[in-house]
């Protein structure tokens, strides 16, 4: 049995999230089905994070245990051949130690959220960014965001369906950067609550539009109440960017 670490890139638009679902297609199912066609084995995919319906990934780290004697490059090529036409690609594949785990060995995760701030309809970025026509003050958004950095109880920014044992998390980074008409929100932490990034982005967008005072973000955090949430940003602007490990596999 060999453990292979995979790096996945995917467009989440046609999927009901990364994790296998009973009522719709998932990234996990697509990769596992491809692996079965390659190896004849029912290998299970384990990943560093879980993404919702419509959320994308630039470099999701995952692993599978496979008995078949196959080189990493050949496995990657075969998986990609069988993944077509699903918008999922294995961009890297390597053999890792048996005790390396894509989820439990991960010490940090980062996301980016894309907002296209213009009135003209999206063409190339449809389903890949949140369009906001109202001018955004990204500097005000960035100032308000810093109240969320650090160790906090993020109950306000947590989905009612979140399965995490505690709402207390340490947010390492939350920066807002503007490049032309695009506003990008960069978030990094050891782990995140369900909907945490989208909920934070939604409230920061309200600040950028002038509908919330900057201080209201800190007030919403202090409320520790989901009812204090102003807005949950849509999933299609969110991308899983990186999984961090103490040592390379």
Per the CB < 8 A criterion, the answer to whether 229 and 161 are in contact is no
- Residue 249 predicted with pLDDT over 90: no
State the DSSP code for 43.
Answer: P
- Average pLDDT of the residues in 222-234: 94
Block residue for tokens 């599978």? 64
The answer to whether 65 is a known catalytic residue is no
* Separation between Cα atoms, residue 32 and residue 76, nearest integer Å: 13
Domain 108-244 CATH assignment equals 3.40.50.620 = no
* 137-194 pLDDT per residue, tens: 999 999 999 999 999 999 999 988 887 889 999 999 999 999 999 999 999 999 999 9
Q: Spot the catalytic one: 11, 23, 33, 52.
A: 52
Write down the mean pLDDT value for the chain: 95
Indicate the CATH number for domain 2-104: 3.30.70.580
Angle ∠(42,248,33) on CA atoms, nearest 5: 15
**CATH 3.30.70.660 domain locations along the chain:** 108-244
Per the CB < 8 A criterion, the answer to whether 196 and 213 are in contact is no
**CATH 3.30.70.580 domain locations along the chain:** 2-104
């Amino acid at each position: 049995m060999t453990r292979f670490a995979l790096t996945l890139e995917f467009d989440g638009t046609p999927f009901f999230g990364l994790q296998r679902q009973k009522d719709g297609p998932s990234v996990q199912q697509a990769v596992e089905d491809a692996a079965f066609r390659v190896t004849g084995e029912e290998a299970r995919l384990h990943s560093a994070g879980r993404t919702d319906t419509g959320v994308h990934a630039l470099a999701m780290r995952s692993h599978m245990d496979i008995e078949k004697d196959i080189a990493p490059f050949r496995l990657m090529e075969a998986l990609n051949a069988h993944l077509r036409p699903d918008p999922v690609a294995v961009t890297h594949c390597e053999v890792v130690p048996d005790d390396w785990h894509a989820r439990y060995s991960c010490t940090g995760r980062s996301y980016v959220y894309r907002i296209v701030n213009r009135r003209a309809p999206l063409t190339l970025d449809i389903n890949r960014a949140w369009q906001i026509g109202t001018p955004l003050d990204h500097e005000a958004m960035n100032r308000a965001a810093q109240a969320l950095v650090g160790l906090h109880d993020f109950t306000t920014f947590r989905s009612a369906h979140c399965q995490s044992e505690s709402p207390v998390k340490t947010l390492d980074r939350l920066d807002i950067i503007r490049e032309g008409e695009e506003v990008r929100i960069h978030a990094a932490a050891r782990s995140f609550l369900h909907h945490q990034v989208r909920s934070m982005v939604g409230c920061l967008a309200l600040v950028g539009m002038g509908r919330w005072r900057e201080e209201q973000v800190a007030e919403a955090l202090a409320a520790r109440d989901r009812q204090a949430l102003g807005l949950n940003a849509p999933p299609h602007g969110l991308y899983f960017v990186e999984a961090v490990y103490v040592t390379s596999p």
